[in-house]
Amino acid sequence: MNRIFATLTLAALALSSCIKENDSYKDLLPVQPGQYIYSYVTTQDRVAMQAANAGMRVAVLAAEVAEQRKEAEEGAEEVTVANVKYNNRSVVSLLFSSGTTIEEVEQGYKLTFNKSYQMPDGFYLEGSLLVETGGKPELADGAVWNVVMQSDFRLYSSSYSGEARIDMKGGSTTLTANADGSCTIQISNIAAAVEGSSSGASDWSSPSGFTVRPADDEVTLAYSSCVGKAFEVNGSASGYSVYSNMYGSSPLQMSYRVSDGLYIGTQIVSGTQECEFTSSFDYNTSAYPAPDVRYVYSFDEATRQYSYKIYYNGYVYPKD
Return the CA Rg of the chain: 20
Q: Give the C-alpha separation, 255 to 44, whole Å.
A: 9
Phi and psi at 132, nearest 5°, equal: -90, 115
Q: List, for residues 25-34, the tens digit of each pLDDT value.
A: 788 999 999 9
User: 312 versus 200: which is more confidently predicted?
Assistant: 312
Reported as a pLDDT band with limits 50, 70 and 90, residue 17 is: very low
CB 170 within 8 A of CB 149: yes
The mean pLDDT value of the chain amounts to 91
Reported as a pLDDT band with limits 50, 70 and 90, residue 320 is: confident
Q: List, for residues 242-263, the tens digit of each pLDDT value.
A: 999 999 899 999 999 999 999 9
Cα atoms found within 13 Å of the Cα of residue 79, Cβ hemisphere only: 20
Q: Give the C-alpha separation, 8 to 122, whole Å.
A: 10
* Cis omega (within 30 of 0) for bond into 318: yes
What's the pLDDT at 21?
Answer: 47
Q: Give the C-alpha separation, 249 to 121, whole Å.
A: 30
Reported as a pLDDT band with limits 50, 70 and 90, residue 74 is: confident
CB 291 within 8 A of CB 278: yes
306 has pLDDT over 80: yes
What's the pLDDT at 23?
Answer: 53
Residue 188 one-letter amino acid: S
Q: List, for residues 175-198, the tens digit of each pLDDT value.
A: 999 999 999 999 999 999 999 887
SS3 at position 73: coil
1 has pLDDT over 80: no
Q: List, for residues 104-161, the tens digit of each pLDDT value.
A: 999 999 999 999 999 999 999 999 999 999 999 999 999 999 999 999 999 999 877 7
Reported as a pLDDT band with limits 50, 70 and 90, residue 12 is: very low
Which residues, listed in sequence order, are joined to residue 69 by a DSSP beta bridge?
none
- Return the ∠ at Cα 239 (arms to 150 and 165), rounded to 5°: 45
**Burial degree of 107 (CB within 10 A; 0-12, 13-18, 19+):** middle
What's the pLDDT at 73?
Answer: 76
Q: State the DSSP string of 215-277.
A: SSTT--SSHHHHTT-EEEEEEEEEEEEEEE-TTSSSEEEEEEEEEEEEEETTEEEEEEEEEEE
CB 174 within 8 A of CB 190: no
- Return the ∠ at Cα 302 (arms to 301 and 303), rounded to 5°: 95
What's the pLDDT at 4?
Answer: 46
